[in-house]
Amino acid sequence: MTLVSEIRLRQVLDSRGNRTVEADVVTESGGFGRAAAPSGASTGEYEAIELDPSEAIASAREHAVPRLEGKVFVGDQRDVDRTLRAADGTDDFSEIGANSAVAISMAASKAAADVTGAPLYQHLGGAFRGEEFPTPLGNVIGGGEHAADATAIQEFLAVPVGAPSVQDAVFANAAVHQEVHDLLAERDIAAGKGDEGAWAPSIEDDEAFELMAEATDAVADEVGFDIKFGLDVAGAEMYDEDDEEYVYRETTRSTDEQIEYIADLVEEYELAYVEDPLDEDDYSGFAELTEKVGDRTLVCGDDLFVTNVERLATGIEQGAGNSILVKPNQIGTLSDAVDAVELAVENGYEPVISHRSGETEDTTIAHLAVATGAPYIKTGAVGGERTAKLNELIRIEQNVSRL
């Protein structure tokens, strides 16, 4: 146990070229941790509040740093995070900003791990036996809020469910990404990349489904294990509250039609994962869809749950979904993120640890996924800020296999 001696805050770039908050935490014994906050584009209404980075840093320096420096032990992560909440004094980090809070929270955990000489996943999760590693979900085709003039559905994700190792899974997702590029080239379809490195062709969703089915089948044949695919529909971004319908490029769907549409897609393409198929307030719609397809696929709540145990508890009570996306910056601290994972697991929900569209080179979520035994991690397929997490997972897997 060692006290925080200094916290340094600065602005750095995220993967979109926007400013974000980075924190250094130094301990009295010389421990050091550094972490940077990511930022979302498709954000839920109920997420913790991200402030302008300059405002977040100024407020954190005024309200949080004096409560932490010389007063809090980095080895007690919950005390660090309780102190951040107390310093903020709101339910949603609207005073110091969730971006400053999560950067400090993650940096403190790294400083504590540095003091003990343990890897971060071991510090967060205790003695690790190497029994589980997450399967990475790789964003291959993207549209929605991540790319203009592309697919209406926000993400088409490769899911290498049969991969025998993290390394094999990571390489398989990259191969699917490349295969889609080659298929697009064969069809003379130009495609740049969206925020998360996914291809962003100006095509209809139907064609994207065909491309994903062909690409995953081709790569599965090459690598010799099963690769499925899944979706992030980003239903809240599509939903027109006034007209009570989901707006696609060429059509609109009522809630009942949306549920049937998603259920049909699960059946036709054997989807392994469906995230945010409906609006962020539609617990009953999530429950109805889960009743229809929850025995065959993950119905994952992102905007529905926003890593918040109270919203997750409501979903559990109503049978809404069977999976939760977990984003530390969405709730503000590592402790709150772990609480969401634990409540999910206790109630049979699968936790999926996730990146954001505006990312940094920070690898904390790779360690968090291993520490919590999460079955899945969503962190892209290519791109430096995405491969930082994927390569870290490969390193962790290799290190654990040597123990």
User: Is residue 253 marked as binding?
Assistant: no
Which SS3 state, helix, strand or coil, does residue 329 take?
helix
User: Is residue 181 marked as binding?
Assistant: no
User: Is residue 146 marked as binding?
Assistant: yes
User: Is residue 240 marked as binding?
Assistant: no
User: Is residue 355 marked as binding?
Assistant: yes
**Catalytic-residue membership of 241:** no
Q: How would you label 201-240 residue by residue, b for 16+ Cβ within 10 Å and e otherwise?
A: bebebeebbebbeebbebbbeebeeebbbbbbbbbbbbbe
Contact 381, 393 (CB under 8 A): no
Which member of 22, 47, 50, 196 is catalytic? Answer: 196
User: Is residue 275 marked as binding?
Assistant: yes
**Catalytic-residue membership of 327:** yes
User: Is residue 154 marked as binding?
Assistant: yes
Q: Taking the CA of residue 335 as centre, how many other CA atoms within 13 Å lie in the half-sphere pointing to its CB?
A: 16
User: Is residue 244 marked as binding?
Assistant: no
Please, is 256 exposed, middle or buried when counting C-beta atoms within 10 Å of its C-beta (0-12, 13-18, 19+)?
Answer: exposed
Torsion sign (Cα): 78, 79, 84, 89: positive
* Residue 231: partners with Cβ closer than 8 Å, 6 or more residues away: 153, 155, 156, 157, 265, 271, 273, 274, 275, 277
Which member of 110, 228, 292, 327 is catalytic? Answer: 327
User: Is residue 232 marked as binding?
Assistant: yes
Binding residues for (2R)-2-phosphoglycerate are 154, 327, 356-357, 378
Binding residues are 146, 154-155, 232, 275, 302, 327, 354-357, 378
Binding residues for Mg(2+) are 232, 275, 302
Binding residues for substrate are 146, 155, 275, 302, 354-357, 378
Catalytic center residues: 196, 327
